[in-house]
């Protein structure tokens, strides 16, 4: 079953497939803001995010003939954007590290009283942007983009346990940063 929004966008997508520049611009207008958000969360550098967004849309339009309406267009485009971001991060070099030898230091039975902590969106955004690349990428893929740890391990070429550990440490670091914000 195709959603109503897919049916509305189906005409724009079909026109874009045929090379209609106006339809492509409309499709870009509909999805670029959300895709830019993904780029910013993954790359944490505005200039790089803008470049990867443009490269992603070039690839989206280039591969548009392969889109078959089996999933939502946004999901399909998001996969291209995420892959572009990950490839760009890998090309950056050693700035992103995933330490597979780290032991899980969190005690699942530990309870922390977070009463009184104001989890304001801006504080969380700031804390996420300040994470080291490895933590931020995994946190963004899991908590924001909705990938599971198996998918993340496959995409990044790391073990599932490394993905889980990095995610847990990212959450812990975010909590610490928020507690220390004024």
Per residue in 59-115, pLDDT (tens digit) is: 999 999 999 888 889 989 999 999 999 899 888 765 445 554 444 444 444 444 454
Which residues, including other chains, have CB under 8 Å from residue 173's CB and lie 6 or more apart?
127, 131, 135
Per residue in 135-164, pLDDT (tens digit) is: 999 999 999 888 899 988 888 888 999 999
Same CATH fold, 95-182 and 4-92?
no
pTM: 0.70
Pick the CATH number of 4-92 from 1.10.10.10, 1.10.1740.10, 3.30.310.50, 1.10.580.10: 1.10.1740.10
Reading the block at residue 151, the tokens are 């998918």
Q: What is the CA radius of gyration of the chain?
A: 19
Reading the block at residue 92, the tokens are 């950056």
Would you kindly state where each structural domain of the chain is located, as residue ranges? 4-92, 95-182
Q: Which fold has domain 95-182?
A: Arc Repressor Mutant, subunit A (1.10.10)
Closest CA to 128 of 65, 59, 38: 38
């Amino acid at each position: 079953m195709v959603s109503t929004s897919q049916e509305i966008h189906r005409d724009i997508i079909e026109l874009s497939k045929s090379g209609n520049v106006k339809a492509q611009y409309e499709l870009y207008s509909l999805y670029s803001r959300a895709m830019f958000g993904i780029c910013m969360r993954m790359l944490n550098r505005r200039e790089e995010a803008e470049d990867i967004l443009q490269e992603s849309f070039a690839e989206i339009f280039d591969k548009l003939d392969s889109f078959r309406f089996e999933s939502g267009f946004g999901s399909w485009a998001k996969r291209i954007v995420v892959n572009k971001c990950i490839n760009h991060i890998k090309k950056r070099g050693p700035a992103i590290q995933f330490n597979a030898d780290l032991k899980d230091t969190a005690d699942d039975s530990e309870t922390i009283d977070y009463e009184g902590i104001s989890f304001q969106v801006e504080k969380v955004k700031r804390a996420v942007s300040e994470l080291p690349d490895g933590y931020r990428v995994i946190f963004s893929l899991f908590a924001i983009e909705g990938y599971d740890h198996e998918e993340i391990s496959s995409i990044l070429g790391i073990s599932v346990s490394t993905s889980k550990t990095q995610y847990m440490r990212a959450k812990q670091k975010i909590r610490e940063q928020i507690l220390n914000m004024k």
